[in-house]
Chain A
Amino acid sequence: MTKIPEYKIEITNDGQVRVEVVGSQGQQCFELADLIRDIVGHEESRQKTAEYYSQDGSVHIQGMQHGRVRDQTDH
């Protein structure tokens, strides 16, 4: 099922704006964030979240290894 991306926007009482782009990944996510930035003004920070990297919105943990943790003294 295709998710419809949406914004969650909070404008604080001193005018700061916090935007979450939900339901979108990769380039589209950044384009949606850019749209709000272009309307509002300066970007103070931007943080990618797990969903940004996902193809389907699910969270994947990569690089998991099976087996015992190798002891640093174990050569």
Chain B
Amino acid sequence: MSAVCVLTPIVIGSWPMIATAVGGVAASLGFSVATGGHEVEQKKTGNTVETELADSEVITEGVSHGQSITIQRDDATVRIGRDERGRCTVCVTSDNLSKAEMKALGDEVSGRLIQQFTYHKLVTELKQRRFEVVEEHMTEDASIQMRIRFGGSSI
């Protein structure tokens, strides 16, 4: 080893980047993305818990206000959107879960969203700089581990 760094991601991206990350979140947590390209109306009868990603900004270029993506599972519906300040929000609605369970689910989705966003951003930007992923796997606790090397003979 030469150096070890610990980093906290900042989620700043366009809506397509967020949407790509949401797709990864849905796949990893057993949700399905609401189909038809239309926002699914939240259940009026369900309880709702909303959290926001602190270090986040959804770039508004080409995004209409209130745009969101909804993912669904048997026990809950989660809407990922953007508030009026541009921050990314995660809103959990459920008839079956308690407030604490919804908060925990919202935190889990938020964490996975940051993870997926960071993964896609890192891989995309490093590939543009001629790096290549030589090994990649997911651990039991759903962490992503990668080895990345410069494509040429030296950096």
Residue A14, interface by CB 8 Å: yes
Interface size on B, residues (CB 8 A): 40
Q: 0/1 per residue, A1-38, Cβ < 8 Å to B?
A: 01011111111111111111111110011101101110
How many residues belonging to A are interface residues under a CB distance threshold of 8 Å? 45
Q: Report the bound CA distance from A23 to B1 in whole Å.
A: 7
Residue B45 at the A interface, CB < 8 A? Answer: no
Binds A, one of B80-88, B92-100, B110-118: B110-118
Known interface pairs A7-B148, A9-B145; A14-B111 also in contact (CB < 8 Å):
yes
Q: Does A56 reach chain B (CB closer than 8 Å)?
A: no
What is the minimal beta-carbon distance from A28 to any residue of chain B, in angstroms? 7
Bound complex: CA A6 to CA B115 (Å)? 21
Residues of A within 8 A of B4 (CB): 18-21, 46-47, 49
Dominant secondary structure at the A interface: mixed
A residues within 8 A CB of B38?
none
Candidates B8, B115, B145, B149; contact of A4 at CB < 8 Å = B149
- Given known contacts A9-B148, A22-B2, A28-B155, is B7 in contact with A42 (CB within 8 Å)? yes
Nearest CB in chain B to that of A11: its residue:
B144
Neighbouring B residues of A16 by C-beta, 8 Å: 6-9
- Chain A residues near B (Cβ < 8 Å): 2, 4-25, 28-30, 32-33, 35-37, 39-52
- Supply 16 further A-B pairs (C-beta < 8 A) apart from A20-B2, A47-B3, A49-B1: A5-B2, A8-B145, A8-B146, A10-B145, A11-B115, A11-B118, A13-B112, A15-B9, A15-B111, A17-B8, A32-B155, A41-B8, A42-B7, A42-B10, A44-B6, A45-B6
